[in-house]
Amino acid sequence: MKLLCEGLDLADAVLKVVKACSTKNIMPVLECIKLSARNDMLTLSATDGEIAIIKNVKAEVHEEGEVCVQGKYFSEFVKKIEAFQILLETDGISMNIMYAENKTCMQILSADDFPVINTDINESCFSLSTNELKKYITFTTFCCATDESRPILKGCQFVIKGDEICVTSLDGFRLATISGKVAGSTGNMEIVCPARTLNEIDKMLPASDQLIDVYVQHGMMLVASEDTILTSRLYSGDFIKKENIIPRNFATTVKVSRKSLKESIERAAVFVRGEKNSLILFDINGDQVIVSTNSEVGRVNEPLRAEVNGKDLRIAMNSRFIIDAINNLDEEDVVMSFNRQIDPFICQNSVDMRSLYLILPVRTANNA
């Protein structure tokens, strides 16, 4: 392999592709970026077995060929020579990187050991605005489980039904769900995408109103944007049916200013940070919600004017969960809907109710 390319192009591409390299020290080749030179194009690929990213860079190819190099080191090094034209040349044992008048030499691995990345994924497809997809990802991925006890919960469920799309995630303590419209689809489908894949897609796609296509086939998905292709394994198995756990009727609903609520909870959270559950209390009665904490160091007690419907209630919750939820809502007011103090409650926008967070309360000595 021998080729000439621009440092900036190469550095930009390597930085994108290296995200798919394994960081787990299981198989050396999964920590690599594969370089393939062919037809005046350098193709960079990386995969950790779950996610794969492929990107093309314009190059003057003098000798076709392919080789694997350590992704982390290669990306750090290329970043530091991005100002130069770069000549890459392999000699069977190593790869020479020539820039300015210097020559650096990197260890290589055979490209034969690199996994085949399947990009032939196009059986089904749905399209939606890039910004909508990015919004769904931001709204849901942080509620995915992070442990391995139920792997499917490490992903977000996408359900396409007619022109409706609904994205849902949950971790056993909270659930996020958001719905909207697709611009088109090849039919109804249900897939579960790893949260990590979705976060990489979010980083890969620049904000835009343009449509993006999401392709699905054989338990794999593919998204492409500007010379970059991302594919990922999907999770298989039964996802929780949200209809079974989101209550339809509520004993108490509260409408309150999002900004005031956020500020009160953040102040209350100061004194419970670091404590298990970061416990705060809501006292709903009459026309107010009283946000309070009672830790050894300090006691906050802040009444907030609210539009309350239904029964009075005293309920304990994890301040982190509720702050995360409020941060992802964007209207002036939020609506919270409760049943008993041991039942999950809902937090959502007051007008656009196509998205919501369902949160488990904390059991305390008083209500357990």
Q: Which residues bind a second copy (CB under 8 A)?
A: 70, 73, 76-77, 80-81, 101-107, 263-264, 266-267, 270-271, 273, 296-303
| Min dist. Cβ of residue 54 to a second copy (A) | 23
CA separation for the pair 282, 146 (Å, rounded): 28
According to DSSP, the β-strands at 301-305 and 211-217 are unpaired
Cα Rg of the chain, angstroms: 25
169 CB contacts (<8 Å, ≥6 apart)? 140, 141, 143, 144, 153, 155, 156, 157, 175, 176, 177, 195
Nearer to a second copy, 109 or 211 (CB): 109
Least distance between a second copy and beta carbon 268 (Å): 9
Residue 238 or 296 with smaller CB distance to a second copy: 296
Residues 6+ apart with CB under 8 A from 105: 94, 95, 96, 97
Shortest distance (Å) from residue 260 CB to a second copy: 10
Query: Helix, strand or coil for residue 238?
Result: coil
3-state secondary structure of 153: helix
State in angstroms the smallest separation of the CB of 235 from a second copy: 34
| Position 220, amino acid | M
Q: Mapped to the 3 state alphabet, what secondary structure does 154-222 carry?
A: HEEEEEEECCEEEEEEECCCEEEEEEEECCEECCCEEEEEEHHHHHHHHHHCCCCCCEEEEEEECCEEE
Q: Would you say 68 or 222 has its CB closer to a second copy?
A: 68
Closest distance between a second copy and the C-beta of residue 106, in Å?
A: 4
> Between 30 and 205, whose beta carbon lies closer to a second copy?
30
| Nearest CB to a second copy, comparing residues 31 and 200 | 31
The least CB distance from residue 267 to a second copy, in Å, is 5
Nearer to a second copy, 162 or 298 (CB): 298
